[in-house]
Amino acid sequence: MRLNRTLYDMPVMMLTGRQSEKDVNLAAYAGADGYVKKPFDPDYLIYVADSLLKDGRSAGQMAH
């Protein structure tokens, strides 16, 4: 996605069952802007999604 000019600045949120800090770090390294672990509170998911859409990509500051 980051190589596609149309999608370059679109925030990327990972929604996953992976729980370790290693997985969070790998997602950040891969370019994810948000990381939500399952099971998740639907209100928290909305909060993270809204934050990413409102603030855009926050370089180096992944919401989780």
Give DSSP secondary structure letters for 2-44. Answer: TTSTTTTTS--EEEES--SHHHHHHHHHHT-SEEEESS--HHH
Is the pLDDT at 61 greater than 90? The verdict is: no
Is the pLDDT at 2 greater than 80? The verdict is: no
Contact (Cβ atoms closer than 8 angstroms) between residue 45 and residue 15: yes
Mean of pLDDT values over 10-28: 93
Q: What is the pLDDT of residue 55?
A: 79
- Give the start-to-end residue ranges of the domains of the chain: 13-55
User: pTM for the whole thing?
Assistant: 0.73
The burial of 19, by beta-carbon neighbours within 10 Å (0-12 exposed, 13-18 middle, 19 or more buried), is given as: exposed
